[in-house]
């Protein structure tokens, strides 16, 4: 009898032929490995890069830019921008750079409670992130394509 609750190893996951399933399993694997973002230092640089972009996408899909900024996923927005660039997603990194400019001094606090306090003040002026969400949607980028290229590239170099 197959154990459906058995955690898959990275080697098992990388052998999955269905690309969407492979991406979902890699995200789950990386999430568990770094304790859902609490211990990202346990990831290799390549894993961190992929996790950052996958986590960004998950938050964007869950509630847009406001959701991303309220979440722990934006604790290190600079690293997220660099990760996006590593996956050749410069246009999304530029969007995040523009969002940073909305914060005092262009600095997004890395501590979630500080960021939340500033976000509350910013949101008193109305839905300021809608234009950025719209801009993100207009980019019409399929991140999964970028994940697969990055994974394959890193696998070939034994970096993943």
Span 13-61, pLDDT tens digits: 989 999 999 999 999 999 999 999 999 999 999 999 999 999 999 999 9
CA neighbor of 102 nearest in space, from 126, 80, 118? 118
Residue 53, domain CATH: 1.20.1420
- In the chain, % of residues over pLDDT 70: 94
Cα separation, 56 vs 79, whole angstroms = 11
pLDDT bin (cut points 50, 70, 90) of residue 4 is low
Examine residue 3 and state whether it is found in any structural domain, yes or no: no
SS3 percent helix, strand, coil of the chain, rounded to 5, is 70, 0, 30
Q: How confident is the model at residue 1 (pLDDT cuts 50, 70, 90)?
A: very low
pLDDT at 121 over 80: yes
Phi then psi for residue 71, to 5 deg, are -90, 165
Its domain, for residue 79, covers 18-156
Is 142 within a domain? yes
């Amino acid at each position: 009898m197959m154990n459906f609750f058995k955690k898959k190893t990275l080697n098992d996951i990388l052998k999955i032929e269905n690309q969407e399933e492979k991406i979902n399993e890699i995200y789950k694997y990386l999430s568990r490995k770094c304790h859902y973002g609490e211990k990202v230092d346990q990831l290799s640089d390549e894993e961190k890069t992929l996790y950052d972009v996958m986590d960004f996408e998950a938050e964007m899909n869950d509630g847009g830019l406001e959701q991303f900024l309220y979440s722990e996923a934006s604790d290190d927005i600079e690293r997220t921008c660099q990760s996006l660039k590593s996956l050749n997603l410069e246009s999304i990194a530029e969007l995040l750079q523009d969002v940073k400019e909305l914060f005092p001094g262009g600095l997004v606090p890395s501590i979630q409670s500080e960021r939340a306090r500033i976000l509350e003040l910013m949101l008193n002026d109305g839905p300021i992130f809608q234009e950025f969400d719209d801009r993100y949607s207009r980019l019409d980028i399929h991140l999964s394509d970028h994940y697969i290229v990055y994974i394959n590239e890193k696998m070939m170099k034994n970096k993943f």
